[in-house]
Amino acid sequence: MDCIFCKIANGEIPCTKVYEDDQMLAFRDLNPQAPVHVLMIPKQHIASLDEVCDNNCDVVAHILKNAHIIAKQEGLDNGYRIISNCGADAGQTVFHLHFHLLGGRSLGENLV
Ligand code: 5GP
Ligand code: ZN
């Protein structure tokens, strides 16, 4: 499958890792939109939140369970925002489930 994030997860494409375990990977976004902009992905291919189901939701919980640990590791003691774009209207460009972890400045009140 020609999926950029699968290739990052299996090491074919390099990334700047900030956290890794057997189920997930977190790495810096290539085009950061905040001082800290990390992408958290499952190692297994799930196209988007639309594909989350009983068989794969454990890894989603696993990612969200580790998010605050990664946030603290990144120094986001003043707060952070997690976003997952799903589908065309949300502007999803990479169809491998990912959670943007954003922080390091006041993120404003627009878009939640
Ligand atoms: P989306 O728009 O699908 O929610 O977000 C995709 C994100 O992936 C974008 O913020 C984009 O900058 C990032 N991205 C796309 N290709 C790469 C890549 O090869 N490496 C890294 N580190 N980030 C990428
Ligand atoms: Zn993938």
What single DSSP character describes residue 74?
Answer: T
Q: How far is CA 67 from the centre of its chain?
A: 9
pLDDT of 2 > 90? The answer is yes
User: Which atom of ligand 1 is the closest one to the Cα of 91?
Assistant: 2
Ligand nearest to the CA of residue 6, numbered in listed order = 2
Centre of ligand 1 to C-alpha 50, Å, is 19
Helices (H) and strands (E) in the chain, counts: 2, 5
Predicted confidence at residue 64, as pLDDT, reads 98
Q: Which of 7, 12, 29, 102 to probe ligand 1 with, by most ligand atoms within 8 A of CB?
A: 29
* Residue 74 · residue 103 · CB < 8 Å: yes
41-85 per-position pLDDT tens digit? 999 999 999 999 999 999 999 999 999 999 999 999 999 999 999
* pLDDT (mean) for 2-22: 98
Most distant CA pair in the chain, distance = 39
Predicted confidence at residue 109, as pLDDT, reads 83
**pLDDT > 90 in the chain, percent:** 95
Ligand nearest to the CA of residue 3, numbered in listed order = 2
